[in-house]
């Protein structure tokens, strides 16, 4: 009996925390990873992310590319952004927020890309989906999630998809 999905690590934030760092989580063992998170907050805000190598954030300008769309009631809007960090998911003060992401090639020396499905709020749900990449052909072993607005409470879990 074998498994296709392997638990790797998790991290939690208590109230008033603003960042969650995972180092040495990406490796040559897995090409793709599942990341799942669940958060509450007292501040409506986007949660940002940067890839890391050797304990250092990559901050290359315009290397992080986001294309995303938002469904809210009967309105759908979309946007494309290039920056020195990703918009990874978004949280709202109205209840629980969740996301699931498949990220591919973070450790491989090729561009990294991911797809995130993000449910923001539980009483006034927003659908926010991100299709994103990092343009550099760089090997990264970690990722940092952080906020500007502070106060994020919840857990992120990371799983690896077996290559073979």
Bridge partner list, 66: 81, 132
Q: How far apart are CA 30 and CA 14, in angstroms?
A: 29
How near is the Cβ of 8 to other proteins at its closest, in Å? 8
Q: Which of 21, 125, 131, 139 binds other proteins (CB under 8 A)?
A: 125
Exposure string over 47-58, b if 16+ CB within 10 A, otherwise e:
bbbbbbbeeebb
C-alpha R_g of the chain = 15
- Shorter beta-carbon distance to other proteins: residue 29 or 62: 29
How near is the Cβ of 133 to other proteins at its closest, in Å? 21
Q: Which of 108, 117, 131, 149 binds other proteins (CB under 8 A)?
A: 117
Helices (H) and strands (E) in the chain, counts: 0, 13
Q: Which of 17, 21, 81, 96 binds other proteins (CB under 8 A)?
A: 96
Contacts of residue 75, defined as CB under 8 A and 6 or more positions apart, other chains included, come to none
- Shorter beta-carbon distance to other proteins: residue 1 or 61: 1
Q: List binders of other proteins among 9-68 (CB under 8 A).
A: 10, 36, 38
User: In what helix (H) or strand (E) does residue 80 lie, and over which residues does it extend?
Assistant: strand 75-83
How near is the Cβ of 37 to other proteins at its closest, in Å? 9
Q: Is 84 in the site for other proteins (CB under 8 A)?
A: no
Q: Which of 119, 132, 133, 138 binds other proteins (CB under 8 A)?
A: 119
- Would you say 155 and 35 are in contact if contact means Cβ atoms under 8 Å apart? no
Task: Summarize as ranges the residues that interact with other proteins (CB under 8 A).
Answer: 1-7, 10, 36, 38, 69, 71-76, 95-96, 98, 100, 117, 119, 121-123, 125-127, 129, 155, 157, 159, 162
């Amino acid at each position: 009996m074998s498994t296709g999905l392997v638990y790797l690590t998790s991290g939690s934030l208590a109230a008033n925390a603003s960042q969650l760092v995972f180092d040495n989580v990406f490796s040559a063992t897995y090409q793709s990873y599942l990341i799942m998170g669940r958060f509450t907050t007292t501040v409506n805000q986007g949660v940002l992310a940067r890839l890391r190598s050797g304990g250092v954030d990559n901050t290359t300008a315009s290397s992080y590319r986001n294309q995303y769309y938002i469904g809210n009631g009967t309105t759908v809007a979309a946007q494309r952004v290039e920056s020195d960090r990703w918009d990874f998911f978004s949280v709202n003060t109205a209840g629980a927020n969740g996301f699931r992401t498949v990220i591919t090639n973070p450790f491989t020396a090729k561009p990294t890309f991911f797809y995130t499905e993000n449910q923001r709020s539980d009483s006034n749900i927003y659908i926010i989906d991100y299709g994103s990449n990092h343009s550099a052909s760089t090997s990264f072993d970690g990722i940092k999630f952080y906020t500007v607005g502070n106060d994020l409470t919840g857990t992120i879990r990371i799983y690896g998809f077996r290559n073979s």
